[in-house]
Chain A
């Protein structure tokens, strides 16, 4: 018997012959493949800072290419008591990130019974930016663009972006996807400079986001008029989260569409 502990419990050479190492080192016929494109996707997430808080919104559509496949996808994720993460892009990666955030919250907040330690938006953003960049280095990115909304430790509003490349930036008005082209100019009309976000009131921010969502619904063929809207405010030393689901884009007027002719069959 071979007394080397390494060989305990392994098939003996006398009985089975020498192990063929080619088996363990066998190369697969197909090369390892990574995510090359998203499958089910969510469109824009919009967010805007204001005087004492942040507003963030995303619709509930999950498209399969140009087919509007699912209309019940929740893309605003609550992390802890005062942070909202809005995710656009691949929905299965969204669900994976949702689990990562759930685990992060369990480890940082639930296990901490003595209290005093808070998981806040900057931490969540830093964590996500590390995850996104790490996956990009592996050439296997999580196909998403993410906006983290919440508050810094000094209770000032926090708003920052991170995407599949690991790129991050912050601004008073942020949007992902099509919204970055269509909605950001609309949101920025309120105040042109980042430092002036304190001049925006909560009411102005709510209206601006709702208006931008309507424009996006008109012009973005992957969007829906059912959306989730979260407004985080810091008032009287307390953080208030107004998280509303199943809202509908109001005041729609399709009059502008009367004279539009699309790619489809020629009309009239």
Chain B
């Protein structure tokens, strides 16, 4: 749990027509190639995962998810439903808490996607507990992110808007620990925008979202300055 608390922030938003996942990727070295070393992964064509904590644990978790999803579709010839997948993954993660020879997973994962019953968003903890969410946040900036997520109107929100909000929320969550630069990674999955596939958002939309986040941020600063002047 400690590992997760200090990991980089990940958030998930369930909009009315799909889900959006976003992570704040701290740039640890100038030598890292920008835009590479992707953090958000795909479990099946319609399901994505973002996680905070020990990254290798997250990758192992995703591998298990892929196994579960492909076993299911080989057996039933249809894509796995997200609640069913979460049930299986919950059992798997929980099993790592039962033996002294293994340690529990050092990640909190946000799993989202669209299946036959519409969009779903889940967050699963190292204990194996998972809950369905409309907005989920984990990692270092989760407190700020959660309070921002609570302000969104999930019934009206479209994924396209949610992408912008995700960029803004990640930026705000990063404010509190401004020591290092970060790179933003956003994926989405919706019937209208991506045909039910989980994909990275196109570059122009990502840039638009980043610009939006920056403008919102500047406005906030101005407001703060005004109030300071008044007092």
Which residues on A are within 8 Å of B, measured CB to CB? 99, 103, 106, 110-111, 113-115
Contact = CB atoms under 8 A, between A and B. Distances in A.
Contacts of B121: none
Contact of B44 (A99, A106, A113): A106
A103 B38 contact: no
Contacts of A106: 44-45, 70
Nearest to A113: B38
Given A113-B40, A115-B38, 5 more contacts: A106-B44, A110-B42, A111-B42, A113-B38, A114-B38
A115 B37 CA distance: 10
Interface residues on B, range: 10 to 19
B77 A99 contact: yes
A110 B45 contact: yes
Nearest to B46: A110
B41 interface: yes
A203 to B, nearest CB: 31
Interface of B: 36-38, 40-42, 44-45, 66, 70, 74, 77, 200
Nearest to B36: A114
A99 B70 CA distance: 11
Contacts, number: 22
A114 B37 contact: yes
Nearest to B62: A111
A11 to B, nearest CB: 28
Contacts of B77: 99
Closest 7 CB pairs of A and B: A113-B38, A114-B38, A110-B42, A110-B45, A113-B41, A114-B36, A113-B42
A103 B74 CA distance: 9
Contacts of B42: 110-111, 113
Contacts of B45: 106, 110
Contacts of A115: 38
A111 B44 CA distance: 8
Contacts of B36: 114
Contacts of B38: 113-115
9 contacts: A99-B77, A103-B70, A106-B70, A110-B42, A111-B41, A113-B40, A113-B200, A114-B37, A115-B38
Nearest to A95: B77
Nearest to A102: B73
Give the interface centre of A99, A103, A106, A115 by most chain B CB atoms within 10 Å: A106
B111 to A, nearest CB: 15
B6 to A, nearest CB: 24
A106 B38 CA distance: 17
Contacts of B70: 103, 106
Give the interface centre of A99, A106, A110, A113 by most chain B CB atoms within 10 Å: A113
